[in-house]
Amino acid sequence: MSGRDKKQQERKRLKMADIARIAGVDVSTISRALADSPRVTAETKERIRKVVAETGYVVNHNARQLRAQRTGLILVMLPNIASSSFAEVVLGVEDAVREEGLNVVVGNTQYDAGREQVLANQLVTGAVDGLILITGRVPPVVTEMADFDRRIVAVSRPVEGHDIPFVSIDNLAAGRTIAEHIVSLGHKKIAHLAGPLESPVFRARRDSYLAVMQQVGLSDLARTFVAPSYDLEGGRLGMQEMLADGQHPTAVICGSDEIAIGAMQAARAVGIAVPQDMAFSGFDDVAISEAYEPPLTTIRIPRRKIGERGARMLLQSLDIRKPRPRSRTVDYELIERASTTGTTAR
């Protein structure tokens, strides 16, 4: 055997554990460094790269994934890829899984249950390792898997009827915060324009409003309406229904920012000045909320952080050596802007 062939054979025998020993770090650090994870310092990455170059070690990604019986892909299923709020969640997911050398596949359901089934079938067939849901429901095809509850995590919206861990804000608490803000400005004739109530998120935000109105003795003045969809058009249609009976509120708490902006457009179309005649608040703090005129009071949700936390929970759940992750909440923030703060008590 030539010296060159012998050296190549030695390189083939090298394992990641050997590189870790030579570099003086653990195997997980090697894996993260080779995936260019931000969790590894530049100095450590440089030391590892030097060891890799000197030893001629080559990472065989395909072999690693086959040994682990993994594809290295995570599917994120969301209802509307055009929504900036969902996009931020996906960025957070990518931040977390990239550190582990994995990649993200995005499935856009377009609110279609049949498309959800088709996309989720990738988990059933093993085309992806795990599933992150932003849709709030588990496609039936997935529930036929024996271990499906260890391969799914929900973010932003909890999944009802299944023991699926999720990460989100506390929507009941956040809804109370925004309702108390409106009450503190002196408003009494306060209405709530919710999103579709099949969503537990919109139900929680509506229920918080009702609880606060009861707490401050305004239950008789409470009025709730439901937008047919949680977008601008849904907000416009919901607001038109609210205005049709002639009992105009002085403030409207909306289930989302897009609903709120659509509702403000409908109010202005009939001559209502915002916020002088009618104050509005939203929920989510999407990018347009601050740029709209007047800027929209809302609840800021750390969507990128939610995506990152959800991905880490999924990675933990996929490791059968570790316990299943528990559901958790992240902090939210009330953002006061001119759509409410430009008003006075009436």
Domain boundaries along the sequence of the chain: 3-59, 69-169+303-330, 171-300
pLDDT tens digits for range 148-170 = 888 999 998 888 888 899 999 99
pLDDT beyond 70 at 261: yes
pLDDT, mean of residues 20-24: 85
Token pair 């088709």 is found at 118
CA distance 312 to 206: 30
10 CA to centre of own chain: 46
Measured between alpha carbons, how far is 168 from 133 in angstroms, rounded to an integer? 12
- Give the per-residue pLDDT at 144: 81
Pairing status of strand 190-194 against strand 152-155: unpaired
How far is it, in rounded angstroms, from Cα 312 to Cα 100? 10
Is 171-300 the same fold as 3-59? no
Give percent of the chain above pLDDT 70.
88
pLDDT at 36: 65
State pTM to two decimals. Answer: 0.77
Higher pLDDT, 53 or 330: 330
**3-59 under CATH 1.10.260.40, yes or no:** yes
Q: How confident is the model at residue 230 (pLDDT cuts 50, 70, 90)?
A: confident
Flag whether pLDDT at 2 surpasses 70: no
Q: Does the pLDDT at position 3 exceed 60?
A: no
* Residue linked to tokens 């249609």: 237
Name the more confident of 192 and 148: 192
Residue 66 has pLDDT above 50, yes or no: no
Sign of the Cα torsion 291, 285, 74, 204 reads negative
The domain defined by 171-300 folds into Rossmann fold (3.40.50)
Whether the per-residue pLDDT at 8 is higher than 60: the answer is no
pLDDT at 60 over 70: no
Q: Which tokens hold the place of 159?
A: 């999944």
Is the predicted pLDDT of residue 197 greater than 50, yes or no? yes
Report yes or no: 339 and 279 within 8 Å, Cβ to Cβ: yes
State which of 91-95, 120-124, 125-129 shows the largest mean pLDDT: 91-95
> Tokens 């403000």 belong to which residue?
264
Q: DSSP letters of 269-318? A: HTT--TTTT-EEE-SB--HHHHHSSSPPBEEE--HHHHHHHHHHHHHHHH
List CB contacts of 303: < 8 A, sequence separation 6 or more: 85, 88, 89, 92, 156
Cβ-Cβ contacts under 8 Å for 240 (sequence gap 6 or more): 266
Dump pLDDT digits (tens) for 291-312. 999 999 999 999 999 999 999 9
In CATH terms, the fold of domain 69-169+303-330 is: Rossmann fold (3.40.50)
pLDDT band at 343 (very low <50, low <70, confident <90, very high): low
pLDDT at 147: 81
Q: Residue 341 — pLDDT band, cuts 50, 70, 90?
A: confident
Q: What is the pLDDT of residue 18?
A: 82
